[in-house]
Structure formats: structure tokens, C-alpha cells
């Protein structure tokens, strides 16, 4: 912001190194659109260069210092004023002085810890970004550049199946089974429903994946449920002894890994909701939590810091 | 097109189902419940007239003592049942067909609430109502429902309560 068009101003460009080999990932923005940014993992260095282009040729740019920051922060939509920075690194690019021409500065944040995955939700957002600031007396010139972070995990040691008998006494008894309790994002849920007692008139049965985003704590806890998928698995009235198979491919749905109590600010959990609907549209349901995790891809290039490396794809 | 017979992958193999016996597969369904509302009869003369309906229940649900039974009920009995369920049970009780106040006013061209077409419409509405209610697992716990369906006369001084152990 310069008064009456006087004074020099500048454009800032942040260029990440290794961008020709680095993958892009997609993430939703607050208004639902999809954005692509470079994908980083925990422990990787974030380096590159900052190009400063003077807008008015011939004029010098006076400044009180130019710095670059690497920030990881959580924004709660209902509390916009307070950004919770869980990671904040800063590097001074140049001391106060003046720029006479377009200049380029290198930066290297070495082995940066990125403990959480980037997430855009209904009431909360977790993002990582680089911010370059040209400090000036009246108004700073600022440029931000987002990156996306994925957290990887490997096949859990313990992954027992979920098997339960539920029902309404004397009316409806079912036994349901899902082959695992922890699924990766491209996994398939294999299961079955076994009918032990059917004294109601069932019209159909469906299974849904529900995402529950929890923000706040204590009396200010807010849960937001979103139905990510709904899939009919049975049409018609079953009788005792019938088994209905379930096969639900997760890759087709917009899912994130399960996130528990991220920086004590929010959680994202997933549930399978089994719903039976009778002829009078009454709904009988059983919700069961599943844990989702992100599997590393085979072709991922090695990183500096040691981390559990996922085994080869079976 | 040549296809190779590959053994199914462990990760996506179907879970082993229990075999259903032929008895279970072809038995009468355990959810049989049919309630018909029929045979409307208008009793009495002039101002003291009222219409009642046969409520015939056929079921194999063990919660009902009688498997086949008919009783006669009038509209106010249905209203009584609805009020009892609204108060005591946790269910959202469906609506009854209308009270038809306008039809009860004098100087109508037709028979008012004793008009054949009106009785036919009301009969259908009552049948929908009682089927919806009787099939509800929570309503089946209420003594008022059992008295409505299976006692010859409704005792309005009864003690409300539940049938099944909670």
C-alpha cells in the first residue's frame, strides 16, 4: 500500500527446490474448491529460493529486513483471531537496507518436523506454509506459499476384526463382522451381517461411512458429522440364518486418516454406520468406529530422517 | 479370453458365512403381523349413533398372546390409544385420520360422519395407523396396545405399564 502511487513496491515469488521431482497433492479449500500444492513428509527439509522483483524500475526498495518463516498452524473457524502455531521456524534473509535491483535469496529449513497432516474441515483447518515478509516502516509486503503434509503409517501389528452381536430384545438380533478394525485409505472393507432373529419387516439395509470432526474441549466441544458414503447392501426382507456380504472399496471416497486430539485442538474420526430400514421407514442402526491410516506409496523417494518405512505393496 | 484361476487374496476374501438351514430359509417368516380394519357398522339411531370397526389381528409374534383375534373398536378408542402412547411411550406416534368436526355440524346435505365414503376413508386411515403402531418394537412393550388389540373391552381405568422386561 503506497500513498498516491509513490514509493517502490515489490513482487515476491517463493520457489521450492526439487519441484520437478516432487509430487503434488490435492486438498480442499474452505469454500470447497480443490487446490494443489507440493507434498512433503515429516523430517524432510524445506528449501528453495525467494525471488524479489521490484515493480518500479529505477527506484530503490527501502526495508527493515527480509525474513522467511515456515509455519504450521491450526485455525478454528469460530475463533479466527487466534491461530495456534505448533511449528514456527524463521530465517533472516537479509538485514535492513535497500534493494536496488531484483534479487534472489536461498533458504533451507533443514529436517523440519511436520508432526500432523494438512487438513481442511468443516470447522477447523491445519495448514503448513512459507511466509516471506519484507518489513517496512508503514506496511510490510507479505507472500505466503502453502505446502501439503501427509502423515504415513505402516501396517499395524494388531489389526483384529470387529465382531459383535447386537439387537433389540425379541425383535431383531444380528451379528455383524468387519474383517479389520484399521483400514488404509485405499483398502476394502470386507464383512458380513448374519441374522439371528428377525421379527420386524425389513425393507433394506445400508452401510454408511460417517466422518465426525470434533473441535473444542469440555463444555465447548462441537461435533460435526458428515456422511461420506452410503451404500445399500441388501434389498428385501431377510429371515433367520441369512448372511449378507459386505464389500466396500474406500479408494473412491474423500477420506483422511483418523486424527486423534491434534495438538489438543481437534479430532477427525470415522465410523461405519450399519442401518436397517423397516417397511414403516423406522431405522435401526449400529455405529462402529474404524481407524483409517495413510499407506506410503512404493515409489516414494527416501527422506533424511528415519521413519517407519512401509513394506512393499502386497 | 483365457483367464487364470488365481486363489482369492487373503485380504479381500469373503468372510465365512454360517450355512442357513433349509428350515430357516423356507419357514414362515417370524415377522408376520397383519391387522385389518373392516366391517364398519353404525349402531343406534338419530343423535345417539356411532360407528365401530372390526380390528382383526393375525400374527406369529410371540409378544402377542393371541395369534388371531378380532375386536370391535370405534374412533374414540383409537384416540385413546394414541393419547396413551404419546404419554407413555418414547415413540413418535403417527397421526390418526381427521376428527371431522365440520362433518358433525347440523344441516349438511349428506350423512355427515355416517356418510359411506367418509367411513371408508376413515377405515383406511385407521388401518394404516394401527399397522404402523403395532409393528413398532417400543409400542409392543405398552400394555395399552395389547389391551386395544386383544381385550374385548377397553378398560379406561387400567394401570398403564410395560409388558416386556426392559
* B20/A241 Cβ within 8 A: yes
**In this structure, how many other beta carbons lie within 10 angstroms of the beta carbon of residue A48?**
21
pLDDT of A106 higher than 90: yes
> Which among A177, A191, A237 is the nearest to B29, CB-wise?
A237
**CATH number attached to the domain at A162-313:** 2.60.40.640
pLDDT score for A1? 45
User: What are the residue ranges in chain B where pLDDT is below 70?
Assistant: 1-8, 165-166
Interface of A with B in 231-260 (CB under 8 A): 237, 239-243, 245, 247
CB atoms within 10 A of CB A263: 15
Residues of A in contact with B132 (CB under 8 A): 280
What pLDDT was estimated at residue A16?
Answer: 96
State the Cα angle at B138 between B135 and B140, rounded to 5°. 55
CB count in 10 Å sphere of residue A26: 11
Asked if A248 and A238 count as a contact pair (C-beta separation under 8 A), the reply is no
DSSP string covering B80-134: HHHHHHHHHSSS-PPPPSP--TGGGSSS-SS-GGG-HHHHHHHHHHHHHHHHHHH
Q: In chain A, what residues touch B136 (CB-CB under 8 Å)?
A: 280, 282
Map out the domains of chain A as residue ranges: 10-150, 162-313
- How far apart, in whole angstroms, are the C-alpha atoms of residue A127 and residue A110? 19
pLDDT at A59 over 80: yes
pLDDT tens-digit map of A68-103: 999 999 999 988 888 999 999 999 999 999 999 999
Q: Say whether pLDDT at A188 is over 90.
A: yes
Is the pLDDT assigned to residue A306 strictly greater than 60? no
Q: Which residues of A touch B33 (CB under 8 A)?
A: 201
Please tell me if the domain spanning A10-150 has the same topology as the one spanning A162-313.
Answer: yes
**Element spanning B77, H or E:** helix B75-88
Using one digit for the tens of pLDDT, what is the confidence trace for A229-278?
A: 999 999 999 999 999 999 999 999 999 999 999 999 999 999 999 999 99
Is B164 an interface residue toward A (CB < 8 Å)? yes
Closest-CA distance, A78 to chain B, in angstroms, reads: 35
Q: Looking at residue A299, what is its pLDDT?
A: 57
ipTM of the complex in this document: 0.85
> Chains A, B: CB contacts under 8 A, how many?
75
pLDDT band at A307 (very low <50, low <70, confident <90, very high): low
Look at the alpha carbons of A83, A87, A92, A93 in this order and tell me if their dihedral is positive or negative. negative
Least CB–CB distance from A191: residue in B15, B25, B62: B15
Query: Does the domain formed by A10-150 have CATH 1.10.132.50?
Result: no
Residue A190 CB contacts under 8 Å (≥ 6 apart), including other chains: A178, A179, A245, A246, A247, B11, B12, B13, B14, B15
B30 with A198: Cβ contact below 8 A: yes
Is pLDDT at A4 greater than 70 in this prediction?
no
Does A177 reach chain B within 8 Å, measured CB to CB?
yes
Amino acid at each position: 500500500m503506497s500513498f498516491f502511487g509513490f514509493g517502490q513496491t515489490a513482487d515476491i515469488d517463493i520457489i521450492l527446490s526439487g519441484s520437478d521431482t516432487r509430487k503434488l497433492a490435492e486438498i480442499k479449500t474452505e469454500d470447497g474448491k480443490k487446490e494443489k500444492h507440493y507434498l512433503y513428509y515429516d523430517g524432510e527439509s524445506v528449501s528453495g529460493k525467494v525471488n524479489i522483483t521490484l515493480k518500479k524500475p529505477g527506484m530503490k526498495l527501502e526495508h527493515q529486513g527480509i525474513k522467511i518463516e515456515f509455519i504450521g498452524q491450526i485455525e478454528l473457524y469460530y475463533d479466527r483471531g487466534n491461530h495456534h502455531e505448533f511449528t514456527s521456524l524463521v530465517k533472516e534473509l537479509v538485514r535492513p537496507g535497500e534493494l536496488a535491483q531484483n534479487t534472489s535469496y536461498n533458504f533451507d529449513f533443514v529436517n523440519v518436523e511436520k508432526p500432523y497432516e494438512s487438513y481442511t474441515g468443516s470447522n477447523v483447518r491445519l495448514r503448513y506454509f512459507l511466509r516471506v515478509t519484507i518489513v517496512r516502516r508503514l506496511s510490510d509486503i507479505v507472500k505466503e506459499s502453502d505446502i501439503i503434509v501427509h502423515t504415513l503409517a505402516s501396517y499395524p501389528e494388531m489389526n483384529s476384526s470387529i465382531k459383535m452381536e447386537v439387537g433389540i430384545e425379541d425383535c431383531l438380533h444380528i451379528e455383524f463382522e468387519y474383517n479389520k478394525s484399521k483400514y488404509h485409505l485405499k483398502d476394502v472393507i470386507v464383512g458380513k451381517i448374519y441374522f439371528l432373529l428377525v421379527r420386524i419387516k425389513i425393507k433394506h439395509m445400508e452401510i454408511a461411512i460417517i466422518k465426525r470432526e470434533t473441535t473444542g474441549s469440555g463444555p465447548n466441544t462441537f461435533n460435526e458429522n458428515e456422511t461420506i458414503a452410503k451404500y445399500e447392501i441388501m434389498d428385501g426382507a431377510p429371515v433367520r440364518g441369512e448372511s449378507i456380504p459386505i464389500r466396500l472399496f474406500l479408494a473412491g471416497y474423500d477420506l483422511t486418516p483418523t486424527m486423534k486430539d491434534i495438538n489438543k485442538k481437534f479430532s477427525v474420526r470415522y465410523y461405519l454406520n450399519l442401518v436397517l430400514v423397516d417397511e414403516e421407514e423406522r431405522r435401526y442402526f449400529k455405529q462402529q468406529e474404524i481407524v483409517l491410516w495413510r499407506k506410503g506409496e512404493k515409489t516414494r523417494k527416501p527422506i533424511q530422517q528415519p521413519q517407519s518405512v512401509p513394506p512393499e505393496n502386497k | 479370453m483365457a483367464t487364470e484361476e488365481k486363489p482369492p487374496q487373503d485380504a479381500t476374501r469373503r468372510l465365512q458365512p454360517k450355512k442357513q438351514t433349509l428350515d430357516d430359509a423356507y419357514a414362515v417368516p417370524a415377522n408376520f403381523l397383519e391387522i385389518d380394519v373392516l366391517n364398519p357398522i353404525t349402531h343406534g339411531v338419530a343423535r345417539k349413533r356411532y360407528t365401530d370397526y372390526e380390528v382383526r389381528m393375525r400374527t406369529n409374534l410371540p409378544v402377542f398372546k393371541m395369534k388371531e383375534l378380532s375386536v370391535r373398536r370405534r374412533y374414540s378408542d383409537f384416540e385413546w390409544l394414541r393419547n396413551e402412547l404419546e404419554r407413555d411411550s418414547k415413540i413418535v406416534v403417527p397421526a390418526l385420520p381427521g376428527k371431522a368436526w365440520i362433518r358433525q355440524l347440523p344441516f349438511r346435505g349428506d350423512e355427515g360422519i355416517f356418510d359411506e365414503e367418509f367411513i371408508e376413508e376413515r377405515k383406511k386411515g385407521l388401518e394404516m395407523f394401527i399397522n404402523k403402531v403395532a409393528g413398532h418394537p417400543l409400542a409392543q412393550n405398552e400394555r395399552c396396545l395389547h389391551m386395544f388389540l386383544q381385550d374385548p373391552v377397553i378398560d379406561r381405568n387400567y394401570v398403564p405399564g410395560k409388558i416386556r422386561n426392559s
